[in-house]
Amino acid sequence: DTAVSQTPKYLVTQMGNDKSIKCEQNLGHDTMYWYKQDSKKFLKIMFSYNNKELIINETVPNRFSPKSPDKAHLNLHINSLELGDSAVYFCASSRASGNTGELFFGEGSRLTVL
Judged by CB under 8 A, does residue 111 bind another protein?
no
Query: What order do you get walking across the sheet with 4-7 strand by strand?
Result: 4-7, 19-25, 75-78, 64-67
Q: Near another protein by CB under 8 A, which window of 11-19, 25-33, 63-71, 75-83?
A: 25-33
Interacting residue with another protein among 1, 28, 40, 83 (CB under 8 A): 40
| Residue 92 CB coordination number (10 Å) | 23
CA distance 89 to 103: 15
Residues that bind another protein (CB under 8 A): 4, 30-31, 33, 40-45, 48-50, 53, 55, 90, 92, 96-97, 99-103, 105-108
